[in-house]
Amino acid sequence: MKKVKLIFFHPYSFGGGSDNSLYRLIKKLNKKIYDIDFISLNKSILNNKITDINFIKLNSSRTILSIFEIRKILKKYQKKNKYKKIIMISNQNFANLVAIFSKYKLSFIKLITVDRNHIDELYFFKNYLDFIKKKTILILMKFFYKKADVRIGISKKLSKDLSKHVKSKINTVYSPSYDKSIIELAKKQNVKLKKNEKFFICVSRFSKRKDHNTLLAAFSMVKNKKKFKLILVGFGPEEQNIKLLIKKYNLQNEVLMIKNLHNPFWLIKKSSLLIVTSVYEGFPNVIVEALTLGTPVISTNMNAGASEILLNGRGGDLVKVGDVLNLSKKITHFIANPSKLKNKMLIARKNLFRFDVELHHKIYNKIFNNV
């Protein structure tokens, strides 16, 4: 029986939520039915986690330059004529556009685009060149996204807002972040801490959109915080700036940075509270992971994801993006009366089935069958 060829195009792998989502999907797929390729521009962290798929590292130095290289790979599959169906799954808006252009006039390739970041990301500009680049992406999305066979967004709000822009239907398939296997991983202590030390935690990439400034400013204002430390787990380009912020707010003895921790789950479970201060997200997986492990959450009410997971505030506390004062008040209140937020966490946990790995797997199998 002929297999279905799946080609995952994920240009860059940094070990974040999108990598974990892809890992959870690919790991579960039946390799007797699917023959899987994973195309990227850098060495994916999945190389060390999955051994029964084919990894293809492109020679292109930038995503835009990979169009012809990907097209060449796709044409080879057509010549072989050995697959029942060939499906390409691309991730993120610019990679989705590259995939659309790569399969131009290759009608035998079915394309599924997956958007993991809210479209608002394209309205944050670093400089004039960044402005031109992102405006171009927005225009191209509007005209070419309809060329994909299936379009997916990983939260309802993301899908709704993206649909308005591209004038095409966006199907919502939640990120597969409710994975009970992390409960076992959380039993493995991999960080040395003082006995009975209490702490709050933030697990995120060290980047501007995660807004560590708001987190650190708020933490510096928290009353009676001497009982608690703040642990920042992550890596990324803003590492040095975060260190400067820690010094600016005189938090050198109260904040600990931990880099490149592949298993943060023991720390998340031991933590009294997860704090998320992102400016925008598609779907903050770490919130679901914290709830799975029984850790309460305070999060910014960013454009997508957090309010859906936390049931618009019934399952955890939500604060306005960048609201330092309110965030500090929420943390202070938690220290004084933790039971209220812990009760909210229990409500949210009862609704995590929406993000279940097994459900996600069934939905994708159905999409692969019907596309």
Instruction: Give me the pLDDT at residue 52, please.
Output: 86
Residue 4: CB atoms within 10 A of its CB come to 19
Cβ atoms of residues 273 and 340 within 8 Å: no
Instruction: Write down the number of H helices and E strands in the chain.
Output: 14, 13
pLDDT confidence of residue 223: 74
CATH topology match: 3-176+356-370 vs 181-353? yes
The rounded radius of gyration (Å) of the Cα atoms in the chain is: 21
pLDDT, averaged across the chain: 90
Q: How confident is the model at residue 135 (pLDDT cuts 50, 70, 90)?
A: confident
Average pLDDT of the residues in 242-262: 93
Contacts of 98 (CB under 8 A, 6+ apart): 9, 11, 63, 64, 66, 67, 70, 90
Residue 122 — very low, low, confident or very high, per pLDDT cuts 50/70/90? confident
Which among 168, 105, 172 is positioned nearest to 141, based on CA atoms? 168
**181-353 belongs to which homologous superfamily?**
Glycogen Phosphorylase B; (3.40.50.2000)
Please report the pLDDT score of residue 46 as a whole number: 72
| CATH classification code of 3-176+356-370 | 3.40.50.2000
For residue 124, pLDDT over 80 is answered with no
pTM: 0.91
pLDDT tens string 56-111: 888 888 888 899 999 999 988 877 678 999 999 998 888 999 999 999 999 899 99
Backbone dihedral region of 15: left (phi > 0), alpha (psi from -120 to 50 degrees) or beta? Answer: left
What's the rounded mean pLDDT across residues 39-59?
Answer: 82
Name the one residue in this structure whose structure tokens are 């003895």: 253
Beta-carbon-side half-sphere exposure of residue 230 (alpha carbons within 13 Å): 25
Q: How far apart are the first and last CA of the chain?
A: 19
Q: Is 144 exposed, middle or buried (0-12, 13-18, 19+ CB in 10 A)?
A: middle
Query: pLDDT tens-digit profile of 257-293?
Result: 998 888 899 999 999 999 999 998 888 999 999 999 9
The reported pLDDT for the residue numbered 40 is: 87
Average pLDDT over residues 346-371: 94
Per-domain boundaries in the chain? 3-176+356-370, 181-353
Interatomic CA distance for residues 109 and 150, integer angstroms: 12
Q: How do strand 150-153 and strand 109-115 relate by DSSP bridges?
A: parallel
Q: What residue spans of the chain are helical by DSSP H?
A: 17-28, 67-80, 93-102, 128-144, 156-166, 181-185, 212-221, 239-248, 265-270, 285-292, 306-309, 324-336, 339-349, 357-370
pLDDT at 204 (0 to 100): 93
**Residues 236, 256, 337, 340, CA torsion sign:** positive
β-strand pairing of 150-153 with 297-300: unpaired
pLDDT at 365: 95
> What contacts 130, CB < 8 A, 6 or more positions away?
none
- The single residue listed with the structure tokens 């650190």 is 216
- Residue that wins the pLDDT comparison between 313 and 131: 313
pLDDT, mean of residues 216-231: 89
Distance between CA atoms of residues 228 and 193, nearest Å: 13
The yes-or-no verdict on residue 15 having pLDDT over 70 is no
127: amino acid identity, one letter: N
Closest residue by Cα to residue 11 from 91, 87, 88, 65: 91
pLDDT (mean) for 311-317: 96
